[in-house]
Structure 1
Amino acid sequence: MITEFARNFPEISALLISATGMTLVVTLGSAAVATLLGLFFAYLASSRHAFLRVLSSTYVALARAIPTLSLLFLVYYGLPSFNIRLQPIPTALIGFGIHGGAYVTEIIRAALLSVPAGQREAALSIGMTPLQSMRYILFPQAGKTAIPPYFNYVLQLLKDTSIASAIAVPELMFRARGIANQMDLTDLMYLYAAVIYLALSLSLSRFASAVEKRLWTGMRAAQ
């Protein structure tokens, strides 16, 4: 087994590197969708209109309650019933994005609550609209608080992308399983994939730490 793995290592590595690129595409694309949804529903959650706040909380409750795999299956197998057919990659972006949007909404909402209420009142008192106060006053301050849990979410998303193999997205786990079945290298292939996930996770963690350190250094310099 080890001999066969070593003999085919260059070919295996090329396939897994390509699949790793797809894993990153799904991770970053899904995070982008989740971030847009999170910003939108966090804005609704801070609205003075009860209906908009209920709409935001309903979305968060439903998206968090439905497992990610169920969302992927609903989009991939359910939408064709309405004559809407999506390829696996767009399905993954939508499914992970909807699910992650609920968590990003809560991250941003909690960060906004950490900003003193007087900041918003002061912005409105000088003639800013609620949207302008969010953009120029509240979000820049809340962002520093939201960064650590947001990167934790992205890190978890990176690992959760392996679920996308269930709808044939050619990401890392999908390729590793295919090679393992084809060459009968199950243990070594999943170990190899785990090492790649570990390297990606550690790299993302170091990047997050660097961003946080830079933000805090900037805050201390501003003070």
Structure 2
Amino acid sequence: MSKFIVGLTGGIGSGKTTVANLFAKQGITLVDADLVARDVVAPGAEGLEQIRAHFGDQILLDDGNLNRAALRELVFNTPKERQWLNQLLHPMIRAEMLRQVASASSAYVIMVVPLLFENGLDKLVDRTLVVDISPELQRQRTIQRDAVDARQVNNIINSQSSRAEKLAKADDVIDNQGEISKLECEVLALHQKYLHLSGKA
């Protein structure tokens, strides 16, 4: 029987990690796209080898890790190179995420993907859950958390699907503008719903 997968997403600063960790507290396995993306370019990984072969040693730090800033610089202004990089890494990330889902033993799996809709990964999940907050709160939280300026935050927000687009595509929505206790109640209610949907209730 195939695993029931919930795709968890939301804009930057919306509180995806907080929500994911509340599901983890219920014993649910998390498969995090950001962590997988780091793993596929770790020293010794095939992803990093191919990137080095393509761009040269300039994209490596002295310790052999990927120099993300240098790579970002190389691909940001060159659409062709960015496309090459995405075509290399996206299938690797997708395959590793599905491998982790398959080996999970919890009743269902939460796949945490910041760009779930943008990268078409919603096709891999049975249900989508969007963590929603107002754009004002999004900016405020991100500026505080990442110590970045408002212009940078606006650029990131503008590069993601709009709030309206995410909400239109969501099967479930968590409003994360209130207290943590309210958030915990919302997660528990969804947990019961997903157990039921996965046939494990």
| TM norm structure 2 | 0.31
**More RCO (CA 8 Å, sep 6+):** 2
- Looking at secondary structure, tell me which structure has more helix per residue: 1
| TM norm structure 1 | 0.28
**Rg larger in structure:** 1
